[in-house]
Amino acid sequence: MRRSDCFFGLHFDFHATPYTDGIGTRTLPEKIGEYFDTVKPDFVQVDTKGHPGYASFRSEYGNVAPGLEVDHMKILREETQKRGILLFGHYSGLEDDCVCQAHPDWAIQNADGTSNTAITDTEGPYTEQVMIPQLLELAGKYGLNGAWVDGENWAALPNYKPEFLAEFYEKTGYTEVVGDNSSAAHLAFYQFCREKFVAYIEKYVKAIHDVYPDFEITSNYACSDLMPEKTLDCLDYYSADVTYQLTERLTVRCFAGLGKTWDVMSWASAGCWRSPGGGFTPVSLKHITRLYREAAMAIAQGGAYQIVNGMTQQGEIRMTEMSLMGELAAFVRARQPFCQHAHPTKNAAVWYSNEDRIRRFDALYPVAQGPAAGMCDIVLDGGRPVDVIYDSVILSDALDSYPVILIPELVYLAPEYREAFIHYMEKGGRLIVCGADVCKQFTDITEESSRIFYMARGCYMHGINGTTVTFGDDMESLIPCYADAMKTDAPAICAAAWKPWGKGALYCIGWDLCSDYQKNRSFVEREFLREVLERADPMPAACVESDAHHIELVPTEKDGVQMLHLINTTELYLDQFTCNHGAYPAVYDVKTAIRCEKMPQKVFLEPSHTELAFTYDGSYVHITVPKVAVHEILVLEQ
């Protein structure tokens, strides 16, 4: 079995410190066996070296945790092997606190000239003298199936070592890198650092694959929303751990379009803290329905799912969590026949601009997702499916396969991307852009600073501060609004306008809709964008026809069978920023429409295999789903 055959996995964090004692003394084979027999995972990931830098296995290299008493890695390998379960190591790669503090010259250098105390130099001795040898030990000595390398792009920082800077200066001709964050030199330096980081990944992966070609490796968050760049062919699969519910929406859509095995990992606990004695101590476990929802968002997109639970400081897998994990496994397994290796259909797509992110957040790999996440949310909450695409798609022929491209407000739009979008519209594509800065890249506008007031479908909304725009005479108004609240005789402003462009069309929204929605979650804003989308994309793959919101739609295809996933995301708007991760209400009588070339013979609701009544109008199958507790799947049988 390979990672591509897996659908459900368990992950156990540990992160040993020099104060952790009795490691392995509570790693009891009979308990581990009982846990695995109950939950039946396809794969298990267990900590081998955490961010503090202490290996929790018997290594001849680096720093072994002084409290390691029993070789619990050997026990875990034996118990997984008995059951045909793959075993992967959680290994902290770029981040190693112990190495950096013991060998300051192995660490990157901060801008102030000091050595960093946590992040290793991608070109320093650490990779060859510690990391690669330890990964080879895990593959050979312990027979692990692969490694999930953590502490990678999200931990990466710029390196200001004199020799590193000298190479950059010689290569580019620049003479400084500090100062204005938007300067050409600063941006080029960050790009240089990113190229070095990618070369570091390629180096250690090649070193392992040269000896153990079947050892499967990933770098956490590689090619994800934290690193929306070209795919890394050297990696065997993609994976990321998502901490917050809302961020998972964007992450899974980033992975789904890359064409490689992937999974998403979420945390069983609503929060946790690192104990000085080692390990992550959970604040509280989430309600089981929360875990169902997080699993559903991954598997609906055709990915696999894994769940994080921490081990105790002595290497004990907590049996108190076994029953909950068994329930989660049953939920996932019931949906496996409909989800595993399925492919999402093409939908309107949000452009996730990496160049904009880098300038907006000033980091090598910004953790914040920015307005693109708001755009993704507002479309999904409005009852339509959506995809996410990277810069590389914009500059390729693949762009033409998407019916509509949505551009959230940006701080930077490179000329080559603007030209690509113009060609896209000329050939028939429809472009929806948000914010004054993007609008003026495509049409003449007059910027105004005001509070706007508008009405959509009988509902008022006002109070959006900042810059709005007035469009030129060549643009036709879509949704009018006013420049002063409650004064309908105030100067009129177009909340949205459009014009034909070649065989396609341009749709402009004159304020920062996505950023505002991230703050306010206004239902009027959802209705607003839905109205624009209905003009730009009148024939979506699927949509919610009823007034019920917070039903996320994912249309997919597997073996020629059309399916539509309905995910109840009500909890995203109840208590997402608190630790009160309890149960949330079901949604009832959800009216859906699925585009279909011919009338299906039957429609089933899975995994309950309940036959549902439907109507067909020649283009769409219309179905009312009685109840969506968490995740339901409509299957159209021809």
Other Cβ atoms closer than 10 A to 140: 12
Q: Is the pLDDT confidence value at 98 over 70?
A: yes
Q: In the prediction, which pLDDT does 485 show?
A: 55
Round to whole Å and give the CA distance between 461 and 465: 12
The tokens for 497 are 């306008």
pLDDT in tens, 357-377: 999 998 999 998 999 999 999
Picking from 190-204, 221-235, 486-500, 621-635, which range would have the lowest pLDDT averaged per residue?
Answer: 486-500
**Which helix (H) or strand (E) is 628 found in, with range?**
strand 620-628
pLDDT grade for 577, boundaries at 50, 70 and 90:
very low
Ordered strands of the 343-344 beta sheet: 343-344, 551-558, 561-568, 631-637, 602-606, 610-611
Rg (CA), the chain: 26
* Mean pLDDT of the region 413-426: 97
Query: CA angle 422-425-426, nearest 5°?
Result: 85
* Mean pLDDT of the region 256-274: 85
Give the dihedral sign, CA 243/245/247/253. positive
What residues contact 246, with CB distance under 8 A and at least 6 apart?
373, 377, 572, 576
Q: Is 34 exposed, middle or buried (0-12, 13-18, 19+ CB in 10 A)?
A: middle
Picking from 23-27, 43-47, 528-532, 569-573, which range would have the lowest pLDDT averaged per residue?
Answer: 569-573
pLDDT grade for 578, boundaries at 50, 70 and 90:
very low
Q: What percent of the chain has pLDDT over 90?
A: 73
Token pair 């113009």: residue: 422
402-430: b (≥16 Cβ within 10 Å) or e: bbbbbbbbbbbbeeebeebbbebbeeebb
Q: Is the pLDDT confidence value at 249 over 60?
A: yes
Round to whole Å and give the CA distance between 349 and 408: 11
Task: Output the CA torsion 342→344→345→351 (10° steps).
Answer: -160
Q: Is the pLDDT confidence value at 496 over 70?
A: yes
The tokens for 52 are 């503090």
Q: Is the pLDDT confidence value at 324 over 70?
A: yes
Q: In the prediction, which pLDDT does 271 show?
A: 65
* Mean pLDDT of the region 515-535: 86
Q: In the prediction, which pLDDT does 473 show?
A: 84
Under 8 Å between Cβ of 604 and 622: no
Q: Cis omega (within 30 of 0) on the bond before 538? A: no
Q: Which residue has the higher pLDDT, 131 or 577?
A: 131
Give the dihedral sign, CA 216/344/383/486. positive
Q: Is the pLDDT confidence value at 579 over 50?
A: no
* Mean pLDDT of the region 526-531: 87
Q: Which residue has the higher pLDDT, 37 or 457?
A: 37
Q: Give which of 532, 536, 465 is closest to 504, Cα–Cα.
A: 536
Q: What is the mean pLDDT of the chain?
A: 90
What percent helix, strand, coil does the chain show, rounded to 5? Answer: 30, 30, 40
Q: Give which of 587, 597, 596 is closest to 566, Cα–Cα.
A: 587
* Mean pLDDT of the region 582-588: 82
Q: Is the pLDDT confidence value at 153 over 60?
A: yes
Count of helices and strands (H, E) across the chain: 17, 35
Across 143-274, the runs of DSSP E, i.e. the strands, are: 146-150, 216-219, 238-242, 262-267, 269-274
pLDDT grade for 247, boundaries at 50, 70 and 90:
confident
Q: Is the pLDDT confidence value at 354 over 50?
A: yes
Q: In the prediction, which pLDDT does 220 show?
A: 97
- State the pairing for strand pair 404-407/430-434: parallel
Q: Is the pLDDT confidence value at 243 over 80?
A: no
- State the pairing for strand pair 551-558/561-568: antiparallel
The dihedrals phi and psi of 473, each to the nearest 5 degrees, come to: -65, -20
Q: Which long-range contacts (CB under 8 A, 24 or more apart) does 370-373 make?
A: 370/408, 371/408, 371/409, 371/410, 371/434, 371/512, 371/514, 371/515, 371/518, 372/250, 372/408, 372/514, 373/246, 373/247, 373/249, 373/250, 373/514, 373/518
Q: Give which of 167, 89, 165, 159 is closest to 126, Cα–Cα.
A: 159
Q: In the prediction, which pLDDT does 478 show?
A: 82
Picking from 206-215, 294-303, 450-459, 517-526, which range would have the lowest pLDDT averaged per residue?
Answer: 450-459
The tokens for 451 are 């509070």
Q: Enter the DSSP assignment of 453.
A: E
pLDDT grade for 518, boundaries at 50, 70 and 90:
confident
Under 8 Å between Cβ of 575 and 246: no
Residue 234 vs residues 48, 111, 216, 261, 402: alpha-carbon distances, Å = 22, 31, 10, 13, 28
Round to whole Å and give the CA distance between 120 and 364: 15
pLDDT grade for 512, boundaries at 50, 70 and 90:
confident
Query: CA angle 437-442-448, nearest 5°?
Result: 40
pLDDT in tens, 118-149: 999 999 999 999 999 999 999 999 999 999 99
Picking from 143-152, 453-462, 597-606, which range would have the lowest pLDDT averaged per residue?
Answer: 453-462
What domains are there in the chain, each with its CATH number? Answer: 3-156+217-341 (3.20.20.80), 349-540 (3.40.50.880), 543-637 (2.60.40.1180)
Q: Is the pLDDT confidence value at 606 over 70?
A: yes
Q: In the prediction, which pLDDT does 463 show?
A: 47
Round to whole Å and give the CA distance between 442 and 475: 11
Q: Which residue has the higher pLDDT, 549 or 538?
A: 538
Three-state DSSP class for 116? strand
* Mean pLDDT of the region 80-108: 97
